[in-house]
Amino acid sequence: MSLKRDLPTSTISGFALSASLILTILNILLHNIPNNIQTAGDELLKLNATEGVANAVTTVVVYFRGFDTLGEIAVLFIASLGLGLMLDENKQCDLKAKSNFMLQTASKLLFPIIMLFGIYVMVYGHLSPGGGFQGGVIIASGILLLLISFNEFEVPHSVVSLLEIFAGASYVIIGLIGLLVLDRFLGNFLPNDISNMGMLLSGGIIPIIYIIVGIKVGSEMSVISENLIKRCEDV
């Protein structure tokens, strides 16, 4: 079979157009490199030390750009809301194939380890790579493993809704307390001494907020995956 029959001409011309654009941009960039590039990263890294958190990315995501993170969580919540609206609860359709015996045994063995790793990534987000988003999605992937291996498994909705209400409310409440104490939304009002940098209890509100983000992301992602597996909609 020839390549020309599989790919329509519009796709090939699109490839060619994007390649020529990329070459043009690279050419312009290579000819106009300034001698010393000014970046905002160095300034932020200097500021990072004042909060007493070892991982600079966490400081930027949760503290300097904490309001954006609140917006991202809201976007995720709206996405799960839309899925729940679209997929009807009355139309249950489970996967036709029964899961393998090997998959069931392996998921029983792997589920606690995945949960433990997710909680570790979540709690140590201010010391090592990772954090709330990644830890929450790791926990949700463990629940997804249970969902695809056991047909009768269901996510406990009362627990998940309670966790989500708690997490979403406490994020805003912590931000408002910071507004009251330090005149700044999400101000770091807990002790964040630089001598404690690298300890588990350091950085004031930053690890607390990342754990909250992890709880919210984990519960939302597990509900999204349960909706996608268990319910269906006639197209």
Question: Which of the ranges 91-99, 169-177, 179-187, 200-208 carries the binding residues for another protein, by CB under 8 A?
Answer: 91-99
Say which residues have a Cβ less than 8 Å from residue 232's Cβ, sequence separation at least 6: 87, 91, 92, 93
Q: Confirm if 214 and 131 have CB atoms less than 8 A apart.
A: yes
Residue the block writes with tokens 């060619």 = 16
φ and ψ of 60, to 5 deg: -65, -45
| Widest Cα–Cα separation across the chain | 70
Question: Which of the ranges 33-41, 94-102, 175-183, 207-215 carries the binding residues for another protein, by CB under 8 A?
Answer: 94-102
Binding to another protein, residues 176-195 (CB under 8 A): none
* Nearest distance from C-beta of residue 164 to another protein, angstroms: 18
Question: Which of the ranges 71-79, 89-97, 149-157, 179-187 carries the binding residues for another protein, by CB under 8 A?
Answer: 89-97
Question: Binding of another protein at residue 76 (CB under 8 A)?
Answer: no
| Among 193, 221, 26, residue whose Cα is nearest residue 137 | 221
Which one, 152 or 183, has the nearer CB to another protein?
A: 152
How far, in Å, CA of 157 to CA of 64, rounded?
A: 34
Question: Binding of another protein at residue 225 (CB under 8 A)?
Answer: yes
φ and ψ of 155, to 5 deg: -70, 130
- Report the length, in residues, of the chain: 235
Binding mask 107-136 for another protein (x = CB under 8 A): --------------x-------xxx-xx--
* Nearest distance from C-beta of residue 117 to another protein, angstroms: 10
Contact with another protein (CB under 8 A): which of 74, 95, 106, 165? 95
Sign of CA dihedral 74, 75, 76, 82: positive
Question: Binding of another protein at residue 7 (CB under 8 A)?
Answer: yes
Which residues form the interface with another protein (CB under 8 A)? 3, 6-7, 55, 57, 93, 95-97, 121, 129-131, 133-134, 137-138, 140-141, 144, 148, 221, 225, 228-229, 232, 235
